[in-house]
Amino acid sequence: MGENGVIVALGLLVCGWSWVEGTQGEYLIGVGSYDMSGPAADVNMMGYANLQQNTAGIHFRLRARTFIVGEGLEGPRFVFVNLDAGMASQLLTIKVLQRLNSRFGNLYTEENVAISGTHTHAGPGGYLQYLVYSVTSLGFVKQSFDVIADAVEQSIIQAHNNLKPGSILINIGDVKDAGINRSPSAYLLNPAKERARYPSNVDTQMTLLRFVDGESGKSIGAFNWFATHGTSMSNENKLISGDNKGVAARLFEDWFASQNTSSNTNSTIPDIGQLVKKAQSTKATGGKDCNKQANQESKVRRNDGSLFVGAFCQSNVGDVSPNVLGAFCIDSGKPCDFNHSSCNGNDQLCAGWGPGYPNEILSTKIIGERQFKSAIELFQSALEELSGKIEYLHVYLNFTNIKVELDNKVVKTCPAALGPGFAAGTTDGPGAFGFQQGDLKINPFWKNLRDFLKEPSQYQVDCQNPKPVLLSTGEMFDPYPWAPAILPIQILRLGKLIILSVPGEFTTMAGRRLREAVKETLISSSNGKFNDKTHVVIAGLTNTYSQYIATFEEYQHQRYEAASTLYGPHTLSAYIQEFKKLAQAMAEGQNITIKGPSPPDLSSVQRSLLLGPFEDSVPEGTKFGDIKEDIAFPERGYFRKGDTPSATFWSANPRYDLLTEGTFAAVERLQGERWIAAYDDDDLTLFFKWKVDNSSLHGLAILEWEIPDAAVSGVYRLRHFGATRITITSPINYFTGASSAFAVL
């Protein structure tokens, strides 16, 4: 166990915690998870910047998943939070740290807390503080922000309360066919000698940690890092979804639960006549009042803090697309132009195809399954136990003016700016008409519009070259800053594992260069403390968000990733230089005394133009929860696996109450005389959709259940939960309603 392990063990025994020598666990470990599904109506989704892409239901719920690891009760520890969100937010980090300070004192600070996003493009936006990221959400959305902040805090509290002695196993392997390079022409600009060192133009490696309870020997969680974009769900999707990484996490957690529960499935062939007769005798309930706890009682996965936590974290994802069939022209079906990803000059006609094309739900599931299956293999075969010190270093940097020593000269980073290739979008989500990736000129119309907002300074134009400055966001401060200037960088050490927390999306080659530079610095500066077995991973989109980081060579092409590399052509070199400083300090055991300038808290200047919801109502003679359209039965009178029964209810805007750790929808199965929830809106097969009725302008909830192969034959019904207000000032009223019953064989 070693000297440190003995000290930790003695401390734990004094505090009444058991220690099992056979596990050889030398860490404290804890995991936690909490629902962070935001407003499921009216709120613009974060990722594609599509004004028409507002939330209108739930594919499955979003979660904050956390692990904490420490060297005993008094030793160093750090927190890693993985969000089913587009990215981390500086304001979110600031506010969460304030909450943690009020609860735990200085135990968890900016130094040892990392908050990372999976980069799903199907979550509610409006939770970032810089203006360019909240234009399409019509400003700041407090409800979006609060539910994420609450979830991060609660998941950390869970993980902290669950801390116990344990071990951490590490395993590394490849994921097949879960990502392709969406900017291959830019990748080819990297030196041929450098490219020849790698078998692919994307990183296929997944790094997985398995957390094992030292007393029981049972696994309590698993976190992994792998790079692929959260863009299996398209820019036309309106259902809240964790995208492919969220699917992988849901599959992993359900798989683990299934391994630890006995199946009580009745193997007796049911009498379909009896099932149909029973179903026909049970009609729709009509809308009824209920309490808030009713929807929570219908939750299939009750979050009491003891659930296994499986997280699929993001890495150097910048140019990696999950739409692995490639990019094709939607008018002709031919491959898109290689250099610009357009079709006859039109970027909007070029779209990436996922493996389930044209079914984006299926594509999301397939890419999620591919990550899930690789994670299961790594989880089950993990044998190497991590040991060694826990360390962390963190600094803030003003990225608008970093001097970088490069090839015997000094270059600089620039104030943030976006190029026209940014406006063109990507094959995952085409952007505005009139732009192409790789554009090196701006047409007069867009140039005049740019100058109306803010004409870039000559310094900015020269500094960003060859990027034409479409938006000089780093020089725009009205009504408040449009882009970040001060960014955090962080290194977390867990034995041989080094996690680099980066506040953006590194391209494949940019990430490789950063990992190699850090590893080389750690080895050369440590006098044996680090060696070739040191393993470095990048945790992308962590602690704040500053868009992309392309290599210098990729920057010359000005495809989307380069046009979105905010701080100019030497952005990557600046990151490498500053991370090497941290790595050297860690290798030499030095403390960082200069922490850098703190980022601003812009909460007091945020603006919001999103209205409502206001005083929902239902048609005269009906109640909330009443059926508008009941189950439509097939001619045979019952449903089979693969069918999709659905029902529509008169409902209210789901923004009145997010039903956190609850559900808007349930599939209930009749067991004896009781209806028991078998599926809820966190299942991949049950869809909750919300819309406004075109004719009456009243709210509607549509529940659709794609009956899975695993469904048990029996009698079922669909049940809806919701909340509303009679007036703006009245208390929230909760309601429910159920469809007619139906038989499933």
Binding residues for Zn(2+): 119, 229, 505, 548
Contact by Cβ (8 Å): 239, 59: yes
Contact by Cβ (8 Å): 592, 490: no
Cα–chain-centroid distance for residue 166? 27
Bridge partners for 224 per DSSP: 208, 312
Question: Active site includes 321?
Answer: yes
| Angstrom distances, CA of residue 461 to CA of 208, 352, 421, 468, 472 | 43, 32, 16, 7, 9
Q: Are strands 350-353 and 219-225 parallel, antiparallel or unpaired?
A: unpaired
- Structure tokens, 266: 């009745």
- Structure tokens, 121: 């493009």
User: What string of DSSP letters covers 383-427?
Assistant: -EEP-S-EEEEEEEEETTS-EEEETTEEEE--S--B-HHHHHB-S
- Structure tokens, 69: 């690891």
Cα–chain-centroid distance for residue 591? 32
Contact by Cβ (8 Å): 613, 649: no
The CA distance from 529 to 328, in Å, is 50
Q: Which residues contact 221 (CB under 8 A, 6 or more apart)?
A: 31, 67, 210, 211, 308, 309, 310, 311
The CA distance from 711 to 739, in Å, is 18
Residue with tokens 């809308």: 287
3-class secondary structure, 517: helix
Categorise residue 469: left if φ over 0, alpha if ψ from -120 to 50, beta otherwise. Answer: beta
Helices (H), ranges, 260-342 = 272-280, 293-297
CA torsion sign, 664 to 231 to 247 to 549?
A: negative
The CA distance from 162 to 157, in Å, is 8
3-class secondary structure, 509: helix
Q: Are strands 714-724 and 742-744 parallel, antiparallel or unpaired?
A: antiparallel
Residue from 33, 37, 321, 341 carrying the catalytic annotation: 321
Binding residues: 119, 229, 505, 548
The CA distance from 381 to 169, in Å, is 10
Q: What is the CA radius of gyration of the chain?
A: 26
Residue 344, number of CB atoms within 10 A of its CB = 11
Contact by Cβ (8 Å): 55, 72: no
Query: Which residue type, as a one-letter code, is found at position 196?
Result: A
Closest Cα partner for 436 from 476, 475, 468, 474?
Answer: 468
Phi, psi (rounded to 5 degrees) for 203 = -85, 125
Contact by Cβ (8 Å): 250, 60: yes
Helices (H), ranges, 85-162 = 90-104, 142-161
The CA distance from 122 to 242, in Å, is 7
Closest Cα partner for 68 from 79, 57, 82, 53?
Answer: 79
The CA distance from 533 to 391, in Å, is 17
Contact by Cβ (8 Å): 183, 271: no
Output the CA torsion 71→515→587→543 (10° steps). Answer: -50
Query: Could you list the active site residues?
Result: 321
